[in-house]
Amino acid sequence: MGQITIDQQSRLLAHLYSGTIEYGRWTDVLRILTTSYDAVNCSLATIDMRTGKPIVQYTSQAFEQSWYEEYHNRYARLSPLRPVLLKRENIGRAMTIEQVMPPQEFEKTEFYCDFFKRYGIRHVMGSFFRQDHGRAAYIALHRSPRTAPFDDGDVNALQSFLPHLDLAFRIRSHCMGLSRYEDVSQQYLDSKGKGLFCLDRQGRVVSMNQEAQRILRLNDGLALTQGHLQATDLGDNQRLQLLLSRSSQADIAVNPGTMASASGGTTIVQRADGRPPYSLWIFPVVGRSLHFEDNEIAAAVEVSDPLQNARPTAEDVLGGYRLTKAELRLASALVEGGQLKDIALRFCVSVNTLKVQRRSLYRKIGAARHFDLMRLVRREA
């Protein structure tokens, strides 16, 4: 990489930071690194420190599946480089195998003789450049025996690249966190029987949750026309469009002084055959610019359907307690008033198995008895 051209460096960084929002670009980064270092392969991965198993892994060379399985199931534990790189003082430091042990010793290791040698790999350089929350991220470059070992210039070049790699991973983690927050928020509204529409500054719907999609499928008072939310009744639609216009007319993030000019409000939308009307709450998205794909979100509409049962189920209430499927199934049956012997027949398991599952269930939700489970579910519902 010491001989990398300006064009290569520009493409490398462009692909790297594109990878923060589009994971497919990581492979392009690895290919450029492989070429720049005259290597045969470059690997990039995050692993679970408790198990040593990969959470996600990319390689520039397409190995057969057995390569990944053998490496993570056995040979990763035999690597002489990994334990050195994982020392606290070496996190973020680029190193070669020659800095860890003499070449003659490395060539006698099971790691090299039984694994790397089979795949034409002799020289290794890498770094664990990040370690937090029980996870670690690493990069590794491999050269063949026909190529010279990695030298100080290679190490220094990789060392200068690691801060970019670490920042890209941090950005990616932040983006995934925001995406997950949006998913959880929409799932929460779904569980409460609330539809949510997000609109851009032109009034087009750019995002909606599952309950909003269900409401549109009913075609009963609300519809999407050329991307715009509209009410079937003319009078209802006039009020709706006025509120939508008021809620999205000012860019709050850019012009804080115009906050008063952006306002929302509530309205109702009539339905056919005398069904209870929808209740709508229209409000501007204030405080900062939010984006969905390439569209800025300027306003949102929350729709309540009185006919939709918004009472959370036991699964909804207990979904955040990391219960197994069996424990969640048992909790639902217990809340419904089932006795263990009846539940055992229903699920084709033994009563003893259910007792074990019940103990684990109570421990996870902080309950001491059946009454505590019922109180928790009913309070949240």
What confidence tens digit (pLDDT) does each residue in 142-153 have? 999 999 999 999
Cα separation, 272 vs 264, whole angstroms: 26
147: nearest Cα among 35, 61, 6: 35
Task: Find residue 96's DSSP bridge partners.
Answer: 125
Residue pair 284/247 in contact by the 8 Å Cβ criterion:
yes
Residue pair 39/142 in contact by the 8 Å Cβ criterion:
yes
Residue pair 100/112 in contact by the 8 Å Cβ criterion:
no
pTM beyond 0.85: the answer is: no
* Domain(s) of CATH 1.10.10.10: residues in the chain: 314-380
Tokens of residue 32, six digits = 């450029």
Q: pLDDT of 285-327, one tens digit each? A: 754 444 444 446 788 899 998 887 545 667 777 777 888 888 8
29: nearest Cα among 2, 60, 1: 60
The ranges of the chain with pLDDT < 50 are: 1-2, 250-260, 287-295, 310, 381
Tokens of residue 106, six digits = 């490395």
Task: Indicate the SS3 state at residue 299.
Answer: strand
pLDDT at 309: 55
Cα radius of gyration rounded to whole Å, the chain: 29
Superfamily for 6-177? Transcription factor LuxR-like, autoinducer-binding domain (3.30.450.80)
> Which contiguous run of DSSP H or E holds residue 166?
helix 152-191
* Domain(s) of CATH 3.30.450.80: residues in the chain: 6-177
318: nearest Cα among 361, 368, 358, 370: 361
Torsion over CA: 95, 98, 101, 105 (sign) = positive
Class of domain 314-380: mainly alpha
pLDDT at 256: 42
Cα separation, 335 vs 107, whole angstroms: 62
Tokens of residue 299, six digits = 């306003």
Cα separation, 285 vs 361, whole angstroms: 40
Residue pair 123/159 in contact by the 8 Å Cβ criterion:
no
Residue at token pair 């991220």: 137
The CATH number of the domain covering residues in 192-304: 3.30.450
Cα separation, 289 vs 292, whole angstroms: 10
